[in-house]
Structures are given as C-alpha cells and as structure tokens.
Structure 1
Amino acid sequence: MNYQSGDEFLQDMPLLLAGPILQHIDPESVTVWVALKMPCQVELKVYDTTNDGTVLGNSLLEGRRSTVALGKWLHVVAVTTQSIGRNFLESDRIYAYDLQFTNDNSEQTLQQALQSNRFPTVDISYFAHQKPTFVLPPSCVEDLRIVHGSCRKPHGHGFDALPVLDCLIESTANQPRKRPHQLFLTGDQIYGDDVAEPLLWISTILGDALLGWEERLPVTQKQPTDVAYYTPKQLPPGQRANVATHQAGFTAGLHNKVDKVTSHLLSLGEYYASYLLVWSPVCWPVTFPKGKERMGTRKASQRWDRQVREMQQFIHTLWKVRRAIANIPMYSIFDDHDVSDDWNLNQAWCLRVLGQPLGQRTVQNALLAYAVFQGWGNTPEKFAKGESGEKLLAAAQDWSASQGTDSAADNAIARYVGMPAINPHTNLPEFIEDGSVFVLKRHPEALTWYYTIRSSCHEVIVLDTRTWRGYPADKKTTAPPMLLCPQAFQHQLSLPLQQTSEIPVTFLIAPTNLFGLKVIDWIHHWELRRDKVFATDVGDAWNIHSEALARFIITLFEQRQQVIVLSGDIHYSSVIRLSYADTSSDFAAKSVLVQLTASALKNEETITRILHTRLKEWLLPEKIRYWIGWSHPPDMVEKTARHSHDVSAKHLVTLHSQPPREPDWNCALEWIPRQKTYVSYFGANVPWLITAKQKAKNDKWRWLQRLMFWKSPWFQDGREVVGFNNLAFVHFELTPSNSYKVIQDLYWFSSWYPTQIVYSRYESELVPNHSLFKS
C-alpha cells in the first residue's frame, strides 16, 4: 500500500475512517459521531437490552442525518436520535445502539462499515451481539463513575494511558452501576504545535487527500517578489519554524524552543487528519519511511526514527481507544495545544498571531476542526436546523467545494467559530471593553464552546477559559489575563449555578488548574517579573490574577457549598482541598472545593517523573497555604510564613484594601496525600500493551529493574503527585457522618515492571477541614 498516493490509500480504507464515538446522551436523545470516506445518510437506533446487556430488546430511539462533505474523502456527521412515542432512557440500565449507512441505494451495516482487507475484523463491542453499549448516569451519587484526562501527544514519552479506559469498561460492561458513565477530556486532545516530524508527514499527505485539494496558506509579502502563499507540501516536516514563528506569529518556538514549531500544523486538512489519527487506527500507514530517507542530518534522522517508534507504540493500542469511546459518552473542551501553544495567552499573543494572515488562517482552521470533530457532539442542539452550528457546517462544505476560494464561505466560517473582527486600518484584532478588561470582539452568532450537563445525581459545568479571557486595559499587553472576563463569569458560572440548587454533586471542568505546586507559582511570578511570559505559560494559572481567582471562588460559594473541579494541562495529577470560611460566621468553615487533576494521558516528562517520587516530598514538600479575601471588589492575598494565622493581619489588610477593611472571608489549601500504590485487578500483566518482540526484550532485561533504585516501588511512592502518564477514575463513598467522600484512582504504568497497570488512590471528604482555621 503506497501512502504517498492519498486517493489510492483511501480507496482501500473501510467506510468508517473514525468512530463511532458516543457523545452527548440524556434520557431523551443520544448522539453518535462518525467520519466516513463517502457521503451517506446515517441512521442511528438505540435498543433496550436484557440479561445484563447480552440480549437486544426493542428499538427505543431513532435518528438519521446526512453527512457533511468536508472534503472529497471526508464526510462527517453527528447523528442525534429522537424518541419514538414516549420512550425515555433510564438510569441503571444498559442500552445498545446500531448504525446503518445508505449511499446511492447501497447499504452497509456498522460491522460492514468497519471492515476492509486491512481490517477484516474490528471489535467495537463488549458483548456477543457486537453492538456498542452505554449507560446513563445513575440515580445515586455513590454509583456515579467519572473518567477524565488530558494532554495526549502521540509521540509523547511513555505508554498511552487512554486504553486503560477500555479495561475499566470491559471489566464492568454488564454492571450498569459500576461501569464508567462519562468521559471528560479536558484539553490538548491533539497538538497543533510540538508535532512529530513523521506525524506531520502523515497529516499533510492524508489531509490533502481527504480534502481533495491543496490549501493556499497566505503569507505576508514584504517584497513584491515574495510568494503570496504556500501549500502544505511546500512546508515539509522539520522546516516550518521560520514560517510558524515569523509569518504566523506563534510563540511556541520562542525562548530557545524552536523544535516546538518545526512541524507545526497549519492547514485545515492537517488538523482534520490529526483528529482521525488520534482516535482511530484506520488512517495510519502500515510502515514509515526511515529517517535517513527523509531527513538531511544524522541527528534529525535519529530523531525521526525515535518518534516513529513512539508512534508505533501509540498505534498498537489505538484499537482499545476506539472501542472505549464507542461505549461511553465522551465530552471535551480545548486547551491551548488543540490550536497552538499559548493560544490567547495574553493580549500580546492575540495581536502578534491574529494580526497576521497565516496566524488568522491557522487559528480558524483549528477552531473549525474542533467544532466539527468535538464541539458538534458536545452540544448537538447548537448544530440543529437554523442554528449557528448548521450554518457553520454549510459554510465548511462550500469552502471545501470551492477548494478554498469562496471568500463568503471563509468569512462565514470565521463568524461562526468566533474569530475576532479584524480592523481594516490596522489589520489587528478588535477588542471590546468589559468592565476593566478588553475582550476579543466576535460576531453575536458565534458558537459558544462552554456547556452544562445534568443528571439526577450530578451536574457538570464545562468552562471555556480560552476564548473569553479578559485582558487588563490598564496594563501592558503581556499582563496575565482574567481567564474568564466579567460577562463570561455571568454566562458560564453564575447563570448555570442559578438554574438549579437541588443537584447533589457539582463538577466544574477547568482546563487549567485553579491551584498548583508552590514551586510553579514561584517560577510564574519570577518569569512575569522578567517579562518572559511565553516561556512557562505565565498567565494560564488562575492564581496569577488574584482578582479573577477571588471572583471565581466567591461566585461558586454563593451558590454551592461543595464543588469538585476536574482539570488537567500540567502533566502531573493530584488532589487538593480548599476549605472556605466566611468571617460573618466566626470563621466556621462552611464550603469546600476539591480539585482533581489528571494529566497527562501521554506526555510525561523527566521533571514530572521526578515529582512523582519521594524526592519531591523530601526536598520541596507542599505545605498548607492560607489566603484572606474581600468580596467587593473581589480580591485575595496569600499569607506567608511571616504572617500570623490571624486573618485580620493588619499589614495585609492595609496593603490590599484602601481604605483598610477587614477581610470578608478566608480559605486554606491542603494537598491530599497519595496512598500506597496497588496493582490493578486487570493490570497484573497486560498482553495487549506491547508486541511479542518488545515483551521478549523487556523480559530479557527484567532482572536489571531490581538494581535500579529509582525505579523501585518504594521510591516511586511519592505522597503528592502522579507524574507518569495516567487516567483518572472518580467515584464516591458515603461516610458514617452522612457526607460524601470523593475518590480519585489514577491508573498508570509501573516503572519497575512496565507492562503492569497500577493505581494510586486519593480520598477527600466533601466537607471543609475546620481544624485549619483553629488558632
């Protein structure tokens, strides 16, 4: 099979290039997303089951929708069911679904659409009937199971942790109260920057083939003789640093990090291809060219071959990822790498990137790909007839049909994905005022990426902290922003919280951490003083902008006393508990926020592996931290070891409130300790993880593991974070005091026996720690 000839390669592919992916579900509707190589009408049927999911029953919900032609070989649809009569889905029951594909009077079943000569058998179900299944969230909080994770880079170090989800579902597939109910991906599902050279090679060829045409990427002509555009193939792997940094303005390559942008995604086809490649094994080539055939130097050749090995391991377990996300509702939100590193980090980034034609085009391409591959399934109602999403899909079809020449379609895409207006005189993005900050100006019909999910036992409020940032109007353009501007606080937090108050558990999805390691805070403040804000993502941390964090805490605790935050982004996992006390109640703690962090799915680093060990707690242990705060206007300040635990420390009050005012509230932050590591009941020795050849090699050198002190279970049992690739499994227990305890089990691959899945448990009661406020 010749991967270089895209058309020939795709002709040999099965009808289904990616999917089915189960997305938004509720008692009245089910949404399933698929990517096909041919236009089809897709019919979705949802069935009741009996005998613990083994026997199909009656059809309860049905829906059909035609695919959207994103390119010659790429036709995508998220089909949503409507109820038949008054059939509604219930908790604690297993349901199955099936798909039928109709094209030019020919029909294919789901199994037929999955198969080809290269893929003669595809396992997409956990039952003999071979239908994907799912369950709705349960009626009791004690039975609720949530899975989350972030940051999945195909060539990142270590094994991909997302296939562990397949193990979790498989082991409980016939138990509706024990199998995972929802999956939340909290950012960096793909990487627009920091792309492996072999991955860009694939993405470019596949992307152009999917579209059936080559995109003309605009560049700035400084001289009349300069080229007006590049095609993706004219910007080969390893040679995009100058264009990405100076023509598109991206900051990922600044501060001696040029390797991050040498293979940056730019074209629409490349972003489309990246999604197909991270969710399905179908479009990957059987073999890769050798580094010496593609690269000009020995070092570059070795890097290519190393990245190929990493991706081959990634591909080896993709079948488990594909099966898992067909059998659990998957919800997502973007972070920065889904577009490019530091996306909308501060006002300077917006002016630098969105003020250049290639920067605008690339961001728009990334947002369109996100809308079609993720946003559609998250909020299918926004893509219904007459809505902005449907108009976006029509514009995307027109843009592709014109081979990228229809300016009206281009403008429509920009409008509906929320690209900011560009000032015709300055060619810079326009901002509008929102209180004391500037916000990117967008069209009123632009899609919004935040949303809320509710069941009888929980609610999930998913935030968009990337496109609704507030940039300080009275500070320099590199100043850290409010991650949510005032109007975003109202629409994304206040209104959803006011809609109901009877939900037992409230989850909040915040792609970036509210609180992190103390050493990271030090680094951020140090880099901010040096104005090196693009070096360490200064501005993405909530506590860099104290007024915004204070407003966030106040807004939450005005409506809820118990909040669980799910976040990722930082390549390590942990659990933190924040106890909150209102000064009007004699400092009696009354509210609690528990932050559950899970990262990375596949992007562990040397520093995170060190943080994972006991060395971190020996050298830099995380201590209890205290803040005092004011509500009008919102602000907060951390108390250091020099300050008394008396929250009315006079010098703090005088410094942070003029005229001096007593604080309205205080809060205390503690790190929940990581418990001893255990081997998972399904992970003693997993045969699917590596090839037989790799296993033989591992077994040969297994005796050496015992001589490596730093790989021993004892040394790896740090008390604060999990720094290896991991996946989080969240569940609850009812305590004797009739309150809930939230438990986060983090699954990762042991260092002492790499084909072993282990887990580290964190437990935190959903009540504030009153002892932290005692004198």
Structure 2
Amino acid sequence: MSVELRLGPMLRHVTESSATVWVETDTPGTVTVIAGHGHTERRASTETFTVHGHHFALCDLDGLPSGHALPYRVLLDDTQVWPQPGAVHPPSLIRTLDPDAPVRIAFGSCHRAAPHTTETDTVLGVDMLRSYAARLARERSVDGAPSTPVYGEPSVLLLLGDQVYADEVTEGMQAFLQQRRAAATPERRQADPPADEVVFFDEYAELYRQAWSDPDLRWLLSTVPTLMLFDDHDVRDDWNTSGSWRQNIAEQPWWRSRITSGLGAYWVYQHLGNLSAKDRDADPVLSSVHRTEGDAAAVVDEFAWRAHELPGSYQWSYRFDIANSRVLMLDTRCGRIVDNDAHRTMQDPDTEAWLAAQLTGDVDHLILASSLPFLLPTGVHYLEAWNEAVCAGRWGAGLRGTGERLRQAFDLEHWPAFHASFQWMSDAVLDLASGQRGPAPASVLFLGGDVHFSYLATAYPRQTVGGVAPIVQLVCSPTRNRLPTKLRWATWLAARRITGWCTALMARLAGVGAPALRWRIEDGPHYENTVATLVLRGRSAEVYWEHPALPGTTGAPATSARPGSEVRELTHHTLTD
C-alpha cells in the first residue's frame, strides 16, 4: 500500500542551528527528514501520533550550519513522500538563521482559501500569499539555491490570525460537510451543527487540508520558516467578544464540539510548530499525547475544553528570538477575561505576568505581534473605549444591553475595548522605550492584522518623559479577503481626525481617561491584499508592503503567464536609521 503526506511538510520553528518540520501523514509510521547531503547531511526521525484518526509528526533537526539553505527530503517508513514526483517548484529548503545577515520578518493575516478563479478574485482579490510564493520560486535557481532578489528572502513568515475560516466555508468545504454529515452518527446529529460551519475535528482537518493544499502555498510553507497565531475565524467570528457572547454561544448544542475541535486542531496544526523542541518537550499536553497508546483524541479534547473554560490554564503566547531582536507572539483571544463587564482584560493574569517579564531592554528591537492591532484609528479606538464603558454601566444599567448589541454588531472588541489592558501595555511600553526596563531598544514595534486594511501609525507619550525610542504600529491585513466598499468608506472615515475628536468626546463623557500614548496614522489605510516585510539591520529598521501586480497596473508586466503572479511594492518606510 502506498504512503503519502496528507498535508505538509511545513517548515516551522527555526534557529541558527535547528529546524522543525511538521507533517500530517495518511497512515501512522516513522517520519524521517533528511537535510543537506554529504558532510552537511543531517537527519531526524520520529513516530507519528494520532488525534481523531489523523496522524502527525514534528521532526527536529539539530546541528545545522548557521546561515545555510539546505534542500531536504521527507520519508515515511523509508518511502520518500517529499519532494513529490514531478514537482514543478524548486526544492524545498531548510534555511537556518544567520546572526550576521539582515533580519527579514514577513507578516500578514486573514487568508481566505478559495479557488483562484475570476469570480473569487473579484470578491476576495488575488491571493497575495500565492503571488509571494510565485515570486520566490522564480528567484530560486534550478538546484534550489537562492538567486539575488531585490530585498532578500524572508527569515521568517508570521501569519497573524485567520489562517482558516471555520465559519465562512468554500463550496468545496460545503460539499465535504454535506457528505460527511449525511453519514453522521446519532450523537453528531443530536448536536445539530450549522450546515455551513465546521464543528468537528475531522471537519477541521479537512478545512486545514483544503486551505493549505494549493501547490504554491504548500510549497511556500514548506520552505519559509512560519510562525502563527489564531484569531476569531480560526474558531468562530467574534470568538470571546464578551461574557454575554460566551453565555449565548454556550447554549448551542454544537458549541462544545466546536470549541473543543477548534482549539484542539489549532494546537496540532498551528501551535506545536511555533515552539522550540525544548519548549515542546515541556508541553504537558504533548507529553500526555505521547504517553497515550493509540488515538489521543480524549487527551486533546479534554485539554481544549479546559483551555476554553479556564483562560490561563494554557499559555498560547510565546517568544521567538532572532538575531538580537525579540518577537513576542501574543494571544489576544483565548486568554481573555470577559465574565465581568466592569473588569475585562485582554490576557489572563499568568500571561500578563509572563509578558511583563519579557518586556525588557538589551535588544535591538522589541516586536509585539498580535492578531489585533494595538493602535487603531483614533475614531475606532475611542468608540470601542466608550462602548466598553457603556457595557460596564457608566451611562446607566438600562443602556448596558444596547452597548452589548453594538459591541457584537460592529466588532468593538479590540485592545481599546479592554481599557485596563490597553493602559497596562501603554505604561509598560513607555517604560521600556524610555530605558526604565534596561537599555532601551532602537524601536518598539507592534505588528497586527484582523481589520482588512493596512497602515502605519506612530505613537508618542502624552506627557514628556525624556528620550523615548520610536513606538510604531504596523498592520498588514488581509493576504486574501477584500473589504467591501461600504466598509472601506467606514474605515476611511474612522481614520479622519474629526472622527477621532468626536468619539474621544464620547469616551470622556463616559468617564474614560486619556491614554498614556497619543498616535496618528502616517500611511494608510490601504485596502489591497498585502504581505509586509520588516527589515532589521542591527538597530536600523525599515518596512515595506507588497501586493499583487495585475495587468494594467503600475509595475506589472505587459503580459503574465498567470494574472497576479507578479508582486510590486505598495509603500516603504524607514523606521529607525
């Protein structure tokens, strides 16, 4: 019987001398990854583990040469399953980090996987990740070695939420759900799942397979180190918006299966690969899975339900060091404390304590990445701060219900809707940027997504505190999910100063104090499908956004074998010299 990969390989956590490769296989067995050849050859083998009938493995290669790009192969029970026969892309490479080279952090969010047709491109736009992959493949020579691209290859790709859409499925996924549920067990039928949403683990497994099986995207994820964070659509729109939302959704008979499957699938498909081998060895859930004979579904389901019921029982946030800079990938969804509208926090106390310990100097750049932008257009910021105050009863108990309906209708649940957390983070970042937490970094950079438009905002202390390192918000969203025209006008209006003044007055009348930071949008909003790249050279930093170059647009070729396969720069900024 032939064996093959069901999904992957995916190049995940990478350091100067190690790399993790994630795979899903169609049968249990031994997975071996072989990188390089001759005296540079390194190999690692591991047994698959099984969750809900699906088989996974993470292979950790160590002792790799720093700053090298090594082609690699994947074997399942001694049968090569990658590269696949007849592969049209260059060989997949394991690229270790080079401490002496510029750091290039590519990032983006919100990727709707759908067929690449004229109809879907009209609705969603051309897939920027696919265009990015096509450009990268062209820049590699036949033997897989990189050529000399304009900006260089990415050191790491950060996908900041909504990697899959469990509540907005494609026609292909809809067909799978119909077929699967036609033969469902009585227990599943009793749960009465929504016909057009993913609920069970096997459905999530198919959702991930369809989302990441496009040949260009699959190759991209196999050859660029990738770290990920969830946002709401990885589970369900508006996930953990408020205590009322949690209470209402819990009444649905299918919700326990949905949240258990969503978090369990995220842990397997996305989170485990974010961790170093050392951190993964210390993960109590993975240890329990490895100790389980046969299928570990019960272990993962129990863990996922506990993570939902008890925010803080598992830490989803993590740290990634690159050169002399620090990236903190922050959970802004599962760890929320929202039961009491009068005291809502973006993170549970344990995660906040962990974050406080990471916000120290002695790094070139401190990067805080979360699915949600920290600094929104001021018109939206103060509207969300006002809404939180109304929901807490600042304008009387009678308006709390109205405030909650507005919150859920207009997605008023970003950082400013958690005023205490926003103030805490602002104070901590100001301390860091002014050198009160050790020598100040050259910059403090917030990365975000979610909002379906891209922009750059610069922040300043509201009160003079002496020399402060630049504090900048960089947002890149979406990679593929076009914002409807009416919402574009709404976001444009929200970015106007007069809108900010009006909503700031509303917030003050609701008793909301002025934040420790003030900020303004320097560039944007931009509505194209984009990938941004942050380039760090020691203590200097620059950022640029790129998007698909369609025929007839500036920078696009006169003819193209595939529309959107070319990429052009949208905007470029120097952050620190």
TM-score between the two structures when normalised by the length of structure 2: 0.81
Give the match for residue 469 of structure 1: 336
Q: What SS does the corresponding residue of 1:58 show, helix, strand or coil? A: helix
Structure 2 gaps of 5+ residues are 115-122, 141-145, 391-401, 434-439, 554-562
**How many angstroms apart in 2 are the aligned matches of 1:337 and 1:729?**
24
Could you give the per-residue CA deviations for residues 597-636 of structure 1, whole angstroms, max 9, x where no partner exists? Answer: 111111102238845xxx986x67634999xxxxxxxxxx
Shift of 1:19: 1.2
Does 2:97 match 1:137?
A: yes
Does 2:25 match 1:66?
A: no
Q: What SS does the corresponding residue of 1:398 show, helix, strand or coil? A: coil
Give the match for residue 111 of structure 2: 152
Give the match for residue 576 of structure 1: 457
Does 2:132 match 1:165?
A: yes
Shift of 1:200: 2.2
Matches within 5 A, 1:109-508: 109-111=80-82, 114-115=84-85, 121-124=86-89, 126=90, 130=91, 132-140=92-100, 143-155=102-114, 157-170=124-137, 171=139, 173-175=146-148, 178-202=152-176, 205=179, 217=187, 229=190, 243=192, 262-280=195-213, 318-354=214-250, 357-379=253-275, 380-384=277-281, 387-392=284-289, 397-398=294-295, 409=298, 412-417=299-304, 419=306, 440=310, 443=313, 447-471=314-338, 473=340, 475=342, 481-491=344-354, 493-498=355-360, 501-508=361-368
**How many angstroms apart in 2 are the aligned matches of 1:338 and 1:395?**
27
8 Å Cα contact 2:261/2:301 also seen in 1: no
Q: What SS does the corresponding residue of 1:159 show, helix, strand or coil? A: coil
8 Å Cα contact 1:192/1:339 also seen in 2: yes
Shift of 1:26: 1.4
**How many angstroms apart in 2 are the aligned matches of 1:345 and 1:724?**
27
Could you give the per-residue CA deviations for residues 341-381 of structure 1, whole angstroms, max 9, x where no partner exists? Answer: 11111112222334555211110011111111111211144
8 Å Cα contact 1:625/1:670 also seen in 2: no
**How many angstroms apart in 2 are the aligned matches of 1:516 and 1:595?**
9
**How many angstroms apart in 2 are the aligned matches of 1:482 and 1:505?**
26
Give the match for residue 75 of structure 1: 55
8 Å Cα contact 2:19/2:60 also seen in 1: yes
**How many angstroms apart in 2 are the aligned matches of 1:608 and 1:202?**
32
Shift of 1:485: 3.3
**How many angstroms apart in 1 are the aligned matches of 2:73 and 2:105?**
24
Give the match for residue 660 of structure 1: none
Highest relative contact order (Cα 8 Å, sep 6+), 1 or 2?
Answer: 2
Q: What SS does the corresponding residue of 2:231 show, helix, strand or coil? A: coil
| 1:15 aligned partner, one-letter code | E
Q: What SS does the corresponding residue of 1:763 show, helix, strand or coil? A: strand
Could you give the per-residue CA deviations for residues 548-578 of structure 1, whole angstroms, max 9, x where no partner exists? Answer: 1110111223234421111111111111111
Could you give the per-residue CA deviations for residues 171-213 of structure 1, whole angstroms, max 9, x where no partner exists? Answer: 26245982111011100111111223442213565x789xxx9
Give the match for residue 726 of structure 1: 530
Shift of 1:60: 5.0
| 1:742 aligned partner, one-letter code | E
Shift of 1:334: 0.4
8 Å Cα contact 2:545/2:572 also seen in 1: yes
* Aligned partner of 1:90 among 43, 63, 66: 66
Does 2:485 match 1:603?
A: no
Does 2:14 match 1:21?
A: no
**How many angstroms apart in 1 are the aligned matches of 2:103 and 2:425?**
26
Are residues 574 and 741 of structure 1, via their aligned partners in 2, closer, same or farther at CA, if it must alter by over 3 Å?
Answer: same
Aligned-residue sequence identity (percent) comes to: 19
8 Å Cα contact 2:16/2:97 also seen in 1: no
Shift of 1:441: 5.4
Q: What SS does the corresponding residue of 2:457 show, helix, strand or coil? A: strand
* Aligned partner of 1:46 among 11, 14, 35: 35
Q: What SS does the corresponding residue of 1:576 show, helix, strand or coil? A: strand
Between Structure 1 and Structure 2, whose CA radius of gyration is higher? 1
**How many angstroms apart in 2 are the aligned matches of 1:641 and 1:413?**
45
| 2:349 aligned partner, one-letter code | P
Q: What SS does the corresponding residue of 1:326 show, helix, strand or coil? A: helix
8 Å Cα contact 1:29/1:61 also seen in 2: no
| 1:201 aligned partner, one-letter code | A
Shift of 1:580: 2.5
| 2:529 aligned partner, one-letter code | N
Q: What SS does the corresponding residue of 1:471 show, helix, strand or coil? A: coil
Shift of 1:327: 0.8
**How many angstroms apart in 2 are the aligned matches of 1:29 and 1:336?**
32
Give the match for residue 521 of structure 2: 671
* Aligned partner of 2:469 among 591, 595, 601: 591
**How many angstroms apart in 2 are the aligned matches of 1:95 and 1:158?**
34
**How many angstroms apart in 2 are the aligned matches of 1:353 and 1:268?**
19
Could you give the per-residue CA deviations for residues 689-708 of structure 1, whole angstroms, max 9, x where no partner exists? Answer: xxxxxxxxxxxxxxxxxxxx
8 Å Cα contact 1:339/1:367 also seen in 2: yes
8 Å Cα contact 1:17/1:37 also seen in 2: yes
Shift of 1:330: 0.7
Are residues 397 and 622 of structure 1, via their aligned partners in 2, closer, same or farther at CA, if it must alter by over 3 Å?
Answer: farther
* Aligned partner of 2:419 among 521, 546, 560: 546
**How many angstroms apart in 2 are the aligned matches of 1:149 and 1:273?**
23
Structure 1 gaps of 5+ residues are 1-10, 48-55, 116-120, 219-226, 231-242, 245-260, 281-317, 401-408, 422-428, 430-439, 627-637, 644-650, 658-662, 674-719, 768-775
Shift of 1:641: 8.7
**How many angstroms apart in 2 are the aligned matches of 1:39 and 1:319?**
24
Shift of 1:146: 1.2
TM-score between the two structures when normalised by the length of structure 1: 0.61
Shift of 1:640: 8.0
| 1:731 aligned partner, one-letter code | V
Matches within 5 A, 1:516-535: 516-521=376-381, 524=384, 530=402, 531-532=404-405, 533-535=407-409
| 1:488 aligned partner, one-letter code | T
Could you give the per-residue CA deviations for residues 191-238 of structure 1, whole angstroms, max 9, x where no partner exists? Answer: 111223442213565x789xxx956655xxxxxxxx7x25xxxxxxxx
| 1:454 aligned partner, one-letter code | D
Question: RMSD across aligned C-alpha pairs, in angstroms?
Answer: 3.7
Shift of 1:523: 5.9
Are residues 385 and 525 of structure 1, via their aligned partners in 2, closer, same or farther at CA, if it must alter by over 3 Å?
Answer: closer
Does 2:516 match 1:557?
A: no
**How many angstroms apart in 1 are the aligned matches of 2:106 and 2:134?**
12
* Aligned partner of 1:745 among 545, 559, 570: 545
Could you give the per-residue CA deviations for residues 114-173 of structure 1, whole angstroms, max 9, x where no partner exists? Answer: 34xxxxx2235x3xxx3x2133333357x2111111111124622211113324533262
Are residues 652 and 108 of structure 1, via their aligned partners in 2, closer, same or farther at CA, if it must alter by over 3 Å?
Answer: closer
